[in-house]
Amino acid sequence: MNTNIQSIIASMTLEEKAALCTGASPWTTTPVERLGVPEMTVSDGPHGVRRVADVNDWLAGSLPATCFPTASCMASTWDVDLIHALGQALAEECIALKVDVVLGPGTNMKRTPLGGRNFEYYSEDPYLAGQMAASFITGVQSKGVGTSLKHFAANNQEFQRMTISAEIDERSLREIYLPAFETAVKKAKPWTVMCAYNKINGTYGSENHRLLVDILKGEWGFEGFVVSDWGAVHERVTSLKAGVDLEMPGPRERRARSVVEAVRSGALDESVLNEAVHRILGIVFKAAETSKGGSFDTIAHHVLARRIAAEGMVLLKNNGILPLKGQQHIAVIGRAAKEAHFQGGGSSHINPTQVDNPYVELQKLAGNAELTYAEGYPADTAFDQSLIDAAVNNARSTDVALLYLALPVSKESEGYDRPDLDLTSQQVALIKAVTSVQPKTVVILNNGAPVVMSEWINDTTAVLEAWMMGQAGGGAIADVLYGKVNPSGKLAETFPIKLADTPAHINFPGGNGQVRYGEGIFIGYRYYDAKEAPVQFPFGYGMSYTTFAYKNPKVSAASFKDVDGLTVSVDVTNTGKVAGKEVVQVYVHEHKSRLVRPPKELKGFAKVELQPGETKTVTVALDFRAFAYYHPAYQQWITEDGEFDILIGASVNDIRCTQTVTLQSTQDLPSLLNRESTLRDWMEDPRGKRVLEPLFEQFTAQMRATFDAHKDEVGSSGMETMNFMMELPLRDIFYFQEAGLLMPPEDLVDGLLTQVHGQTK
């Protein structure tokens, strides 16, 4: 096979190049047979392979594949090795099903729990999401199969999903909405990146030169190709110039023709087309190196799916009833016990190889215990009192009631957002009714994103968040309920008390073509933490059947240079009676920064397995970026000299140890002082302070005296005058004293600015 890409490009006609940049079918690229360029097949994604039986038929069903737990559950494992293993299994299925690139992972931020596709995304935290995405990608690609990191960028809602403009300030984009992509691109080198449908600050994801070319391909060094989301291209030539190498789906002959015409008329430089062709060919040939076909181990993958599901389930509440032990009569209530709700709707929907029945799996672990079943609620949002009455009768005389509650399928899907965070009114009434006759009631939830619980949680004995748990989730629930698996999942997103508490509430979903990200960098726990607002369950939270003690926190240096970073360690001991796993989380807090920062930001974590009584030292490395924030005026990540708390904890609200360290910034940033700068700006700028300090006493004393003399008229004391002056531009302060100055205030300021900008740090 001729893989000398340059010579192939040189031999290609303009028509062939344009055709290569558009799909041949909804799921395949265009081959160029005479030059030995094969077609390449792509398939959804992200938690299983949705390989359609006929690539030319949109509606053809898909071939059986393992449905792994969706991203909410994956992220709650906080286990990068497990996600890597999941990636490898996915790749094996791709190979068997003749798929070259799987369309995932999805790593958009969960800006609001209402987002319709939140089940497909990892987290509200960019660090965690970035680590998960990177592991997924390296897992898949280690087997010679490609990935498509999606949806780049700021695709955080379904309302007007193809047209809405996400209005985001630069700092929030850089600190919240881009970093998970950045980490995944730099660390894991995905073969492809999929651009988003929506606009970002007025420009479509598919026409966003700044995001696709300047940032993704330029700053981050992305070497693969950019594929459009399906139908995201509006004008092919514009999107090509903006960095969309491959348009999907195909065929789109008119689009290809428009590219040819644009090159002929001079509207499109052929070198732009050549670059896209180069990028696509690079991946097409790489994909062809992995031969496809054969079969995959359906049983082993089902077992893996069960393991991941059990590791991702989060025990939210447990008044000692779990793990179950010796109960002789168990009421199993809720249709989700017999019909597993294990995935969401839309493009990610998998045709599973098999599905665990939660009830059957429970019976397997329950031994001789008698299980009695009641449906509890209908499949939709209708209300049926008779189902509640039957459930109450069932629950009354049992040792425990297990309530399996799944959100109706219609409540969570790609294509539209959730209207609320509620269970159905029947489900709430069911919990109330069952718990009123049965004090030992465990609620098991199947949903892709948080539900509110304040109305009913106090009535329950235990609550297990089982997510959209994948095809083997029914068995995983039984494993956790019976303690075959000690739960170790921790929330990758905050569970709010009520919808109105959520950070984006008043800015969501927008209208008139725009959604304003008014909460800025304060999404998820960053917001609740800063507001000191109560939540139902915080980010990073999850219970275990054992307990852990944190001791002996250490940092590699009390004072360090930003470029050297820092290593943090802590001894974690399993202080309970059963083996278990703990997710140790490391947050940073800067004492004083020039721009506001969230009180805590996750910058590292590690999952550790411990036998009863065992202690292990957990080590987490923090690099430059762990301490930096994005400064829009410098247009870069900056660090500042000063103190940081390193907070080691079991959740964002459960900090067990704190170490305070001093950072020395090695950056020599230019001074931002200009004619508008206030006295405060001058005094906070090291160079400005040096230049101004000799003059400072003289003019502030004068000004204080003037104000003190007129204290009665202006009602200010000298001290308050200082505060008043700090907010004045220097020039305006000089105006007050113009009479005594040797030159006009502007010239004086300009002279000082020349001195400032002539200095180094």
**Residues assigned a catalytic role:** 229
Using the minimum distance from each CB to ligand BGC, give the nearer residue, 236 or 306.
236
Using the minimum distance from each CB to ligand BGC, give the nearer residue, 21 or 313.
21
Tell me the closest approach of the beta carbon of residue 269 to ligand BGC, in angstroms: 30
- Distance from C-alpha of 411 to C-alpha of 427, rounded to nearest angstrom: 14
Q: Which residue has the tokens 């995201």?
A: 232
Using the minimum distance from each CB to ligand BGC, give the nearer residue, 206 or 347.
347
Tell me the closest approach of the beta carbon of residue 58 to ligand BGC, in angstroms: 9
Per DSSP, 323 falls in state S
Using the minimum distance from each CB to ligand BGC, give the nearer residue, 230 or 541.
230
- Distance from C-alpha of 361 to C-alpha of 541, rounded to nearest angstrom: 27
- Distance from C-alpha of 196 to C-alpha of 662, rounded to nearest angstrom: 40
Using the minimum distance from each CB to ligand BGC, give the nearer residue, 345 or 580.
345
- Distance from C-alpha of 297 to C-alpha of 89, rounded to nearest angstrom: 9
Tell me the closest approach of the beta carbon of residue 347 to ligand BGC, in angstroms: 3
Tell me the closest approach of the beta carbon of residue 151 to ligand BGC, in angstroms: 6
Residues 159 and 419 sit within 8 Å (Cβ to Cβ): no
Residues 542 and 580 sit within 8 Å (Cβ to Cβ): no
Number of residues written out for the chain: 761
Tell me the closest approach of the beta carbon of residue 45 to ligand BGC, in angstroms: 5
Residues 603 and 565 sit within 8 Å (Cβ to Cβ): no
Tell me the closest approach of the beta carbon of residue 106 to ligand BGC, in angstroms: 7
DSSP letters, 526-567, are HHHHHHT---SB-TT--B-SS-EEEEEEEES-SEEETTT-EE
- Distance from C-alpha of 91 to C-alpha of 302, rounded to nearest angstrom: 15
Residue nearest to ligand BGC (CB): 347
Using the minimum distance from each CB to ligand BGC, give the nearer residue, 80 or 184.
184
The greatest distance separating any two alpha carbons of the chain, rounded to the nearest whole angstrom, comes to: 98
Using the minimum distance from each CB to ligand BGC, give the nearer residue, 164 or 321.
164
Q: If we measure between CA atoms, which residue out of 235, 204, 248, 214 comes closest to residue 25?
A: 248
Using the minimum distance from each CB to ligand BGC, give the nearer residue, 151 or 317.
151
Q: Where do contacts with ligand BGC occur on this chain (CB under 6 A)?
A: 44-45, 103, 150, 229-230, 347
Using the minimum distance from each CB to ligand BGC, give the nearer residue, 79 or 229.
229
- Distance from C-alpha of 385 to C-alpha of 389, rounded to nearest angstrom: 6
- Distance from C-alpha of 36 to C-alpha of 120, rounded to nearest angstrom: 37
Tell me the closest approach of the beta carbon of residue 258 to ligand BGC, in angstroms: 23
- Distance from C-alpha of 394 to C-alpha of 407, rounded to nearest angstrom: 22
Q: Which residue has the tokens 């098991």?
A: 444
Using the minimum distance from each CB to ligand BGC, give the nearer residue, 41 or 639.
41
Tell me the closest approach of the beta carbon of residue 448 to ligand BGC, in angstroms: 15
- Distance from C-alpha of 206 to C-alpha of 240, rounded to nearest angstrom: 9
Question: 124: how many CB neighbours lie within 10 A of its CB?
Answer: 26
Q: If we measure between CA atoms, which residue out of 664, 665, 659 comes closest to residue 645?
A: 659
What is the pairing mode between strands 629-631 and 566-574? unpaired
Q: If we measure between CA atoms, which residue out of 95, 91, 84 comes closest to residue 48?
A: 91
Please report which residue ranges of 101-161 form alpha helices under DSSP H. Answer: 126-141
Tell me the closest approach of the beta carbon of residue 103 to ligand BGC, in angstroms: 4
Structure tokens at 395: 């629950």
- Distance from C-alpha of 565 to C-alpha of 623, rounded to nearest angstrom: 4
Question: 506: how many CB neighbours lie within 10 A of its CB?
Answer: 10
- Distance from C-alpha of 612 to C-alpha of 614, rounded to nearest angstrom: 6
The answer to whether the peptide bond before residue 126 is cis (omega within 30 degrees of 0) is no
Tell me the closest approach of the beta carbon of residue 196 to ligand BGC, in angstroms: 8
Tell me the closest approach of the beta carbon of residue 277 to ligand BGC, in angstroms: 23
Using the minimum distance from each CB to ligand BGC, give the nearer residue, 108 or 438.
108
Tell me the closest approach of the beta carbon of residue 115 to ligand BGC, in angstroms: 13
- Order of strands across the sheet that contains 329-333: 314-318, 462-465, 441-446, 400-406, 329-333, 370-374
Residues 102 and 140 sit within 8 Å (Cβ to Cβ): yes
294, 298, 303, 308: CA torsion to nearest 10: 70
Using the minimum distance from each CB to ligand BGC, give the nearer residue, 55 or 620.
55
Q: Which helix (DSSP H) or strand (DSSP E) does residue 722 occupy?
A: helix 718-726
What are the angstrom distances between the C-alpha of 269 and each of 239, 247, 266?
Answer: 13, 18, 6
Tell me the closest approach of the beta carbon of residue 156 to ligand BGC, in angstroms: 13
Residues 657 and 666 sit within 8 Å (Cβ to Cβ): no
Question: 617: how many CB neighbours lie within 10 A of its CB?
Answer: 11
Residues 353 and 471 sit within 8 Å (Cβ to Cβ): yes
Helix, coil or strand: residue 332 = strand
Question: Taking CA 561 as the corner, what is the angle to CA 556 and CA 564, rounded to the nearest 5 degrees?
Answer: 65
Residue type, 32: V
Cβ-in-10-Å burial (0-12, 13-18, 19+) of 501 comes to middle
Using the minimum distance from each CB to ligand BGC, give the nearer residue, 97 or 273.
97
